[in-house]
Chains A and B, each alone.
Chain A
C-alpha cells in the first residue's frame, strides 16, 4: 500500500472520516445557532447542553423504557424541542427588547443548570450506547474500512442540513421566516403570527441539537460534559463562517471537521486548537467571516 507523507492510508482516512463526523455535528449545531440567531437575536449558549440532553434522552429511552435507537431518533428531538419551547415561552421571550448580551447570559445560566443537574444525577463518566443492529458491521472500500454507522451519521446529517436549507430558502414557510428575520413588524402587519413563529424557530433549532445528540450517542459515550466543550468550538465555527448563510454554515462545519482530522494525523498536539487558530486568521483577513456580511 502507498503511504501519504509517511502515514498509512488507513490511519489517514480513518481520521478524515472521524473529522467528517465531527464536522457534521459542527454543521448541525452551527446551523441551529444560525437559525435561532436570525430570528431571536440570541446566541444560544444552552445549545451544547440541549445536544447533551438529546443524547441522554436516547439513553434513558433505551435503559428505562426499552425503546431503541430508531425510536430515539424520532422522540429525542421532540423532547428537546418541547424543552426549548418552554424555555422560550417562559424566559427568552422576556429579553427580546433588551441588549442581545442578556440572551447569551441567560442561556449560559441554563447551560450550567442542565450540565450541573445531569452531572449530579449521572456522574462525569460516560454511559455507553450500543450501535443499532441494522447499522452494525462495515464496508471495505479498498483503501479503508468504513463502519456502517459512521457512514450513516455523515449521510443523515447532510440530508438534514440540506433539508433545512431547502425548507428555509425554497419554501413558502421559509420565505415567511426570512421576511420575519428582516422585518418582524411588517410581517406581523401582513397577518402572520410572528411570536408563534419565533417560538417554533427556537424549538426547531434546538431539535437539530437534540438530533445531533442522538446521532452522537453511539460514537461518543453519553456524558454530561459532552455538550459545553463542543459548543465553544461551534462558536468558533460560527465566527469563522459568519451567520449570514445557511450553506456557508454547513460548508464551514464540514471543512473545519476535516481540517481537525488532518491535524490529528500530522500534528496531534495542535488538534484541539486548530479551529481557534483558523478563527484568529480569519478575523485578521476577513473579520465578517468567510460567508458573512458585516451587520
Chain B
C-alpha cells in the first residue's frame, strides 16, 4: 500500500478506542461469543465448527498483515498448507504427539514466512502481492513434486493421537475443545499484538510509511516481524486443520486458497478484529451449502469478491462499526 494508503477512506475509521460504557457492552459480547463457542458442538456438526475455527484463525492471521500493517499477501496458502504437510508428516510418519506436530508445522510456517517476507518486503504495494503470490506458487510446485507430500493424493489418514499423551483426540468433543483453545490462544496473541506499541508502529507504517521512517522506526524490521508472526499463525491454523480432517492436501497450498482467505477478510472487514472470524464463518457455511447444489463455487466466490470491492469495502463488521459511530454522533 506504501505511502498512498492514507488516501483510502475505508480504513481510516478503525481501531478507535471507546471509553467506559462501550467496554462493558463489549465484554458482554465477548462473553456471549465464548458461551456460543462452548455450546456450538452440541448444536452444530463439530467438524464443521472446527473448520470454521481453523479458517477464522487463518483469516485473522492474514488480517494482521493487510488490516494492521497494510501489506497484501497473496500467498498465505503456502504457510497454511505448508504447515499442514509438516504437521501431518510429523504425526503420521514420525509418530509425534499432536501438540508437538502442530508446533513443528507452526515453526516451519514461521521459517518459510521469514524467507518469503525477507524477499517480499523489498518491494511495495502490488509488487508485494505479486511476489508473495509467485513464491507461494513455487511452494505449490514443490508440494506437487516432493516425495513426502504424496503428490496429488496428499497425506491421508493422519492420526489425531493423544494430547499431552493423555487426552484422546479421536473423541470429537475433546478435539473440538482443543481446536477452540488453539483458536483462542492465536486470537489472544493477535489482540495483544494489535494493542501493543508494536501494533501502533504497524498502523503508523500502514498510514504513512515515509513518515514512520522519518520518526526513526526501522520499518523493514517491523514489517518482517509482522510477516513472520502472520505466517506462523497461519501455519498454526493449517497444522490444526490437518489434524481435524486427518488430511494434508494440495488444495491447501493453491492460489485459490490464498484468494479465499483474502475474501474472508474482505467480506468480514479488513482491519477489524472480529471481521475475519465473521467472514470465515460465512464463506465456510456458503461453501458447504453450495457443495450440495449445482452452482459452480468459484463463480459465486468471484461474484462476492466483485461486489465487496465495488460497494462493500468496509466489510460486515466494518460497516457495523461505522453505523454505530454515526449513531453515537447523532
Contacts and interface: CB of A to CB of B under 8 A. Distances in A.
A and B pair up: yes
Interface of A: 43, 91, 94-95, 97-102, 104-106, 108-117, 119-120, 228, 232-233, 235-236, 238-239, 269, 272-273, 275-277, 279-280, 283-284, 287
A239 B255 contact: no
Contacts of B134: 232-233, 235-236, 239, 275-276, 279
A275 B145 CA distance: 16
B111 interface: no
A272 B8 CA distance: 37
B119 A112 contact: no
A112 B5 contact: no
Contacts of A109: 301-306, 308-309
Contacts of A97: 7
Nearest to B305: A109
Given A101-B72, A102-B309, A284-B119, A235 B130 contact: yes
Given A109-B306, A276-B138, A120 B126 contact: no
Given A106-B310, A110-B302, A239-B127, A98 B135 contact: no
14 contacts: A98-B313, A99-B1, A105-B262, A109-B303, A109-B306, A109-B308, A112-B299, A112-B302, A113-B303, A114-B302, A239-B131, A277-B138, A283-B123, A287-B122
B305 A91 contact: no
Given A99-B7, A105-B305, A280-B135, A120 B296 contact: yes
Given A104-B129, A279-B131, 19 more contacts: A94-B310, A95-B309, A98-B8, A99-B1, A99-B4, A101-B129, A104-B72, A108-B259, A109-B308, A112-B256, A114-B302, A117-B296, A232-B133, A232-B137, A235-B130, A269-B145, A273-B138, A279-B135, A283-B123
A157 B251 CA distance: 35
Interface residues of B, number: 45
Nearest to B255: A232
Given A235-B133, A276-B137, A116 B296 contact: yes
B266 interface: yes
Contacts of B256: 112
B298 interface: yes
Select the residue from A95, A102, A111 with max chain B CB neighbours within 10 A. A102
B125 interface: yes
Nearest to A279: B134
A283 B122 contact: yes
A117 B126 contact: no
Contacts of B130: 43, 235-236, 238-239
Contacts of B296: 116-117, 119-120
B73 to A, nearest CB: 11
